[in-house]
């Protein structure tokens, strides 16, 4: 099954479709507005402002918290990735900047990154081949997050229900899809 890439030039994207028998894994691109939020000297004031604006405190570890139409992923001490499905990039940036005020800095990441969602009954087995961390359902539960590597590509990973979401630098999207398709080949997959 991994020979599906043999005839495809390395700079050409994998065509969307179903590969193999059945679809043990499904992956697709998710359109999200993205921003990075970094705390200044008063992280507590930033968290309080965020709580009043979005109804949730900023996670203090590798977690993904969803509230007020956004998901906030803890990526390091005093640093978060903010993702929104129903808010445009400019609107998200303005809302975050007004909340952060003097307590933090906000940077738009919408054009620099792409988010892939991976799901299906064989998603965990597929991703285990690519990751250096344990994502077994008993360990990496919904709401857990990690900043790690997937097939040697830097990523922010978080779990939503039965799906896994990967934030990848746009310039590595093609390589990520190729690595994912090779890992999923034995189970059959759909690139939706």
> Could you report the per-residue pLDDT of 50-92, keeping only the tens digit for each?
888 888 889 999 999 998 789 999 999 999 999 998 777 788 8
- The reported pLDDT for the residue numbered 65 is 94
Residues in the chain: 192
Whether 1 shows a pLDDT value over 60: the answer reads no
CATH 3.30.70.1520 maps onto the chain at 33-108
Q: Is 6 exposed, middle or buried (0-12, 13-18, 19+ CB in 10 A)?
A: exposed
| Calpha distance 153→159 (Å, rounded) | 18
- The reported pLDDT for the residue numbered 39 is 94
- The reported pLDDT for the residue numbered 7 is 76
Dmax (CA) for the chain in angstroms is 55
- The reported pLDDT for the residue numbered 79 is 96
| Calpha distance 70→160 (Å, rounded) | 13
pLDDT band at 14 (very low <50, low <70, confident <90, very high): confident
- The reported pLDDT for the residue numbered 83 is 95
What is the CA angle 38-81-116, rounded to 5? 160
Structure tokens belonging to residue 150: 């997937």
At the fourth CATH level, the homologous superfamily of domain 33-108 is Heterotetrameric sarcosine oxidase (3.30.70.1520)
| Calpha distance 159→59 (Å, rounded) | 14
Crossing angle between the packed helical segments 43-54 and 89-100, to the nearest 10 degrees: 130
CATH 3.30.1360.120 fits 2-30+112-191, yes or no: yes
pLDDT band at 38 (very low <50, low <70, confident <90, very high): very high
- Unique residue bearing structure tokens 């344990």: 134
Average confidence score pLDDT of the chain: 91
Whether 2 shows a pLDDT value over 70: the answer reads no
Percentage of residues in the chain with pLDDT exceeding 90?
67
What is the CA angle 47-48-54, rounded to 5? 85
CATH 3.30.1360.120 maps onto the chain at 2-30+112-191
Nearest to 41 by CA among 85, 114, 102: 102
Give the residues across from 73 on adjacent strands: 64, 81
Whether 17 shows a pLDDT value over 80: the answer reads yes
Give the residues across from 156 on adjacent strands: 147, 167
């Amino acid at each position: 099954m991994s020979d599906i890439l043999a005839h495809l030039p390395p700079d050409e994207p994998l065509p969307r479709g179903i590969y193999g028998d059945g679809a043990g894994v499904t992956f697709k691109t998710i359109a999200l507005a993205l921003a990075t939020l970094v705390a200044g000297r008063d992280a507590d004031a930033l968290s309080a402002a965020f709580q009043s604006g979005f109804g949730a405190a900023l996670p203090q570890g590798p977690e993904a918290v969803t509230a007020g139409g956004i998901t906030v992923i803890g990526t390091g001490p005093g640093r978060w990735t903010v993702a929104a499905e129903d808010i445009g990039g400019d609107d998200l940036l303005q809302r975050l900047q007004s909340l952060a005020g003097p307590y933090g800095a906000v940077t738009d990441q919408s054009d620099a990154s792409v988010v892939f969602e991976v799901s299906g009954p064989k998603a965990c087995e597929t991703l285990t081949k690519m990751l250096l961390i344990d994502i077994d359902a008993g360990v990496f539960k919904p709401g857990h997050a990690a900043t790690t590597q997937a097939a040697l590509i830097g990523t922010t990973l978080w779990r939503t229900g039965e799906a896994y979401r990967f934030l990848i630098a746009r310039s590595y999207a093609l390589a990520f899809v190729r690595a994912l398709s090779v890992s999923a080949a034995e189970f059959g997959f759909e690139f939706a």
